[in-house]
Amino acid sequence: MRPGNLKTRIFLDGGDPGETREMLDLFGFVDGQTTNPSLISKNPEARARMERGEKFSESELLEFYEGVVRELAEMIPQGSVSIEVYADENTTAEHMIEQGREMFRWIPNAHIKLPTTAEGLKAAEMAIKDGIRINMTLCFSQEQAAAVYDATAGARKGDVFVSPFVGRLDDRGEDGMSLIDNILKMYRDGDGHAEVLTASVRSYDHLIYALKLESDIITAPFNAIKEWGNKGFPLPGHDYSYPSGNLKLLPYEHIDLKKRWTEFNIAHVLTDTGLAKFAADWNNLIQ
């Protein structure tokens, strides 16, 4: 059962509806789900197909993604399901929003994932005007989060998520959880229209610390949620201290949220490599 006093929404990070079913059966709740091209490529049906040497055509792959997302949306009708557009370094904002409009029609509870790049932010501005809910992915810096805040100004609370990727920062020796702390702190000066979705969660401690920081949402792989659930969903006490080990703390930057998003430095190497990897995993499924 979902702990009664849990304020943070808990999303499942995955592309396999079988896991969503299992989580519902085991624990009785899933507040939402996030997918991405790499997770879709790991879907058991997609894997089996690839092992048989049967790649998808582009339209078959989109149909497959739609089928997965529909299955997820039926299981968690009250939640949100994030669907990611295809984007590589050459994808324009217009092409992203075109895909986003189409994907948004797949299910009633979609959030469309757009990369936190200049083109992604332009697409975000258009999405908000169109009433399309979005999840800004591949966020690795406070300035990127500030840019998301401005590009989505005027959106309704619940319509905009920003996904800082904790695990990938940890992988290069930086304390990803300190970015969550910093963005949450920075957003406290704002109007609350953009919600922080802690992503790229790899461990139980990421999850527990994100709860302590009061992240609006956490998306975590089934293993991390299972570990937490098997312990009875304990919530962090005042004495909880995050074991950041040797990870380098990212210092808090004093950023004026009233600045235009175009004035922020939104470049980040992990955004670029992440974008390329998502595109490669998607393209690898196609004939």
Query: Catalytic residue positions?
Result: 113
Provide, rounded to whole angstroms, the least separation between the CB of residue 171 and ligand E4P. Answer: 8
Tokens of 117: 């790049």
Q: Which residue has the tokens 């957003």?
A: 187
CA nearest neighbour of 134 among 182, 219, 193: 193
Pairwise CA distance, residues 225 & 75, whole Å: 18
Provide, rounded to whole angstroms, the least separation between the CB of residue 279 and ligand E4P. Answer: 13
Give me the residue whose beta carbon is nearest to ligand E4P.
200
Pairwise CA distance, residues 219 & 216, whole Å: 10
8 Å CB contact between 166 and 201:
yes
Pairwise CA distance, residues 285 & 56, whole Å: 6
What is the contact surface with ligand E4P in residues (CB under 6 A)? 13, 34, 36, 137, 163, 165, 167-168, 199-200, 219
State which residue, 134 or 255, has the beta carbon closest to ligand E4P: 134
State which residue, 168 or 268, has the beta carbon closest to ligand E4P: 168
Tokens of 40: 């879709």
Q: Give the N- to C-terminal CA distance of the chain in Å, as an integer.
A: 43
State which residue, 142 or 198, has the beta carbon closest to ligand E4P: 198
8 Å CB contact between 41 and 281:
yes
Provide, rounded to whole angstroms, the least separation between the CB of residue 135 and ligand E4P. Answer: 7
Provide, rounded to whole angstroms, the least separation between the CB of residue 13 and ligand E4P. Answer: 5
State which residue, 14 or 229, has the beta carbon closest to ligand E4P: 14
CA nearest neighbour of 117 among 256, 265, 254: 265
